[in-house]
Structure 1
């Protein structure tokens, strides 16, 4: 059965993470509703790094209860190679999603840098056109809140990582780009 994928990133110290939330199409609407129900009055999105620790714990626990799987792509992080490293991770993401028969990939928009993602996706897909992709702002796509939270928690380690591990199905180490 085809699945949908929602993708966001997190950087911590010298590590860079891309998280992919894999969701069955039948679970999309219920998951959106549950996530939207977690918003505080006046809040437009859940963005993990802006939440206070007690709220982060609550959100991580609620997200870990959702019927989905996440994949974490991890690589090194330096200012000189961060975009290259992101694109290496994204290329691996695309190959893995094609193998899963994913039909839609939604990435959290990085505005003008989305062009780098599009180039990588087109190159990685080659002639395979069944996988559609789009960049959206996380305020308009609540399911992007999942990979934001999971990537943040996984990168933080310790109790934060433990909280989201029930939905982390796979961790993939991606080779770091070499500095020019």
Structure 2
């Protein structure tokens, strides 16, 4: 599963500020797995107040994790091409960067956005909007009330094969 958070340029600064303000003292990022349930509830409420849209790409039916990720990233690029997006930031996992770049190189050409859609990998402490995708992915995986808490910002769930 890959979760994409989309923010219009005019809302970027405020969204990042709001997210940074949600950190507790000494915290360099919000990592949902490590938060208490009360903090998770508070963060979910704050996320739903941001000017953001989230899309969940679900390739859990794909047997290979590598193939599932490639399928999800390709679908992300397809959707961003339709939106006319200019930038894609992916959470950096050093073990996946090389394979991600190959997939993205192919996808931006397939959807005709090689010249207009820049992509980069960043660490979560460098880009607060990555925290949104992390939180939504956690909530969707947990299901139930957690999923319901982030439903207002989820605009689409794409089941991929």
State the TM-score bracket (shorter-chain normalisation).
over 0.9
- The aligned residue for residue 158 of structure 1 is 144
Specify every segment of 5 or more residues in structure 2 that has no aligned partner in the other structure, as ranges.
Answer: none
Matched position secondary structure for 1:112: coil
Structure (1/2) with the larger helix percentage: 2
Q: Distance in 1 between matches of 2:52 and 2:46?
A: 12
Structure 1 residues 68-113: Cα deviation after superposition (integer angstroms, max 9, x where no partner): 11000012268x6112111111111111110110000000001131
TM-score of the two chains, using structure 1 as the length reference: 0.84
Instruction: Decide which of 73, 93, 97 is 1:110's aligned counterpart.
Output: 93
Q: Distance in 1 between matches of 2:133 and 2:95?
A: 21
Q: Distance in 2 between matches of 1:124 and 1:35?
A: 30
Deviation, structure 1 residue 54 = 1.0
Matched position secondary structure for 1:118: helix
Instruction: Decide which of 35, 45, 60 is 1:51's aligned counterpart.
Output: 35
Q: Distance in 2 between matches of 1:114 and 1:77?
A: 23
Which contiguous aligned blocks of 4+ residues in structure 1 show a shift greater than 2 angstroms?
none
- The aligned residue for residue 160 of structure 2 is 174
Q: Distance in 2 between matches of 1:133 and 1:89?
A: 15
Q: Distance in 1 between matches of 2:46 and 2:65?
A: 31
Q: Distance in 2 between matches of 1:38 and 1:121?
A: 32
Q: Distance in 1 between matches of 2:85 and 2:93?
A: 22
Q: How many residues align?
A: 158
Q: Distance in 1 between matches of 2:91 and 2:61?
A: 19
Q: CA RMSD in A?
A: 1.3
Alignment of 1:26-45 (within 5 A): 26-45=10-29
Structure (1/2) with the larger strand percentage: 1
2:118 equivalent to 1:132? yes
TM-score of the two chains, using structure 2 as the length reference: 0.94
Alignment of 1:69-88 (within 5 A): 69-76=53-60, 81-88=64-71
